Structure 1
Amino acid sequence: MPTPTLDARLEAVLEMIRTDVHADIGSDHARLPVRLIREGRAERCVAVELNPGPLEQARRSVARSRLEAQIEVREGDGFGPILPGELGSASLCGMGAYTIRGILERAGERLPPALVLQPNDSALLIRLWARATGYHVRAERLIAGYWSYPVLRLERAEGADLAYEGMPLDAALKYGPLLLRLGGGVICHQIEADIARLQKVAAPGRESWHELETARTALDVLDHGIK
């Protein structure tokens, strides 16, 4: 079987994974696990899928790739089919941040030490969850597409997350501390688009006013850096 192709957001996810055992939660066609094994980024993968159609597609994809010895397809919801301590890392991609956070909150002791997450909307809820549960931001990318897709690698660690050191917290939580440090056209375009949208509706005392101030602060970080 030819090596499966991935879109830009999943290629970014792929590049953030290197481990012994990896689980792709909500794996759909299991393209990501197949690439991980073929590129030597994982020794073994678990593809977890709840819905019958994608579950069968994942099984067929693994069988066509002749990787049944290294990729196990399991039926289940979130981390339910995973054993505590089984994984080095896990990925959750193509879902809303609220859905991803819910899956992480229900995982309990099944959570691995590293997570690679690709929400289809703002990663604010995920960054808040990470700060509250002892996961630090180790890498971030923002991928241009139908809209901008954030991709984050989180790792369990002690103490304060140094990614946020010296950053305006609200702006860093909304737009990503490492993304604001790195800059670039994609993050700049997203912030400028938010400012243009919010200027039409924001008024003092409303949540939209706070969002507008957060976006302006983020743009100032991009323009002038961290002092």
Structure 2
Amino acid sequence: MTPVLDARLGAVLNLIRAEVHADIGSDHAHLPIRLVQAGRVRRCLVVEVNPGPLRHARENVALAGLSDRIEVREGNGLSPLRPGEVGSASLTGMGANTILSILEAGEERLPPALVVQPNDSPRILREWARGSGFQLTHEALAPGFWTYPVLRFEAHPGPDPAYEGLPLEAALRYGPHLLASRHPLLLGQVQQDIARLTPLAAPARPAQAELETASSALACLLKSSR
């Protein structure tokens, strides 16, 4: 069995490399299977709390012939992991608030590297990382039902250099690496935000601040293109 990953999970896979990795809320275990098959991890732990997906994950791991390298555990969030057991973990296909609650609840079990793919704005995850000793080392955008952000955080002390020289609000909202690289999907997203917010903006309205953030992001993208 060789699962075919969509663009979203393919972008996640490309940001993972570790001896031992944990996929939290894995569902069908397609990502862990491909991580092992591609040689990006030596071993993988699959964590799933729901009975149906838990059963599917175990079945798929067995079909792939990887039961000796992928262990499926029942449990919620990071709780089934032992402190220091894994070098990295992934949390994908969830809302940013759900991911944040898992990270906060499992603080003592956090590995030194995290790859997250929220289904909505990752701003609160960037803010969490800045206040929790993690730096944002890589970002990607993947096309799909909507544009999916994928972020990799690594534990490092001190200020995050990714934000240097960028307007902070724009970098937190849209991503410092995406702004610096002038990601083509980001340019379209920022332009859409400006078109949506312009008729709503007025002094003291929330849309006004959002429009100013989007406009400063656009200025960064256009500046970097010259």
TM-score interval, smaller chain: over 0.9
Match of 1:132 in 2: 131
Q: 1:206: Cα distance to partner?
A: 1.7
User: 1:225 aligned to 2:224?
Assistant: yes
What letter is aligned with 1:206? R
Matches within 5 A, 1:1-227: 1=1, 3-225=2-224
Across the aligned residues of Structure 1 and Structure 2, the Cα RMSD in angstroms comes to 1.2
Distance 2:134 2:5 in 1: 27
Q: Is the 8 A contact 2:113 2:155 kept in 1?
A: yes
Structure 1 gaps, min length 5: none
What letter is aligned with 2:151? L
Report Cα offsets for 1:89-143 as digits up to 9, x if no partner. Answer: 0000000111111110101110000000000111101100000101101100111
Task: State the TM-score, normalized to the length of structure 2.
Answer: 0.98
SS in structure 2 at match of 1:225: helix
What letter is aligned with 1:105? E
Distance 1:122 1:208 in 2: 16
Report Cα offsets for 1:157-182 as digits up to 9, x if no partner. Answer: 01110000111000000000000000
Report Cα offsets for 1:16-39 as digits up to 9, x if no partner. Answer: 111011000000000010011111
Distance 1:34 1:143 in 2: 20
Q: Which consecutive aligned stretches of 4+ in structure 1 deviate over 4 angstroms post-superposition?
A: none
SS in structure 2 at match of 1:139: strand
Q: 1:197: Cα distance to partner?
A: 0.9
SS in structure 1 at match of 2:131: helix
Report Cα offsets for 1:67-101 as digits up to 9, x if no partner. Answer: 11110000111001000000100000000111111
What letter is aligned with 1:117? V
Percent of pairs with identical residues: 58
Distance 1:96 1:204 in 2: 30
SS in structure 1 at match of 2:120: coil
SS in structure 2 at match of 1:217: helix
What letter is aligned with 1:86? E
Distance 2:206 2:194 in 1: 14
Deviates more, 1:138-147 or 1:85-94: 138-147
SS in structure 2 at match of 1:4: coil
Q: 1:208: Cα distance to partner?
A: 1.4
Task: State the TM-score, normalized to the length of structure 1.
Answer: 0.97
Distance 2:110 2:210 in 1: 32
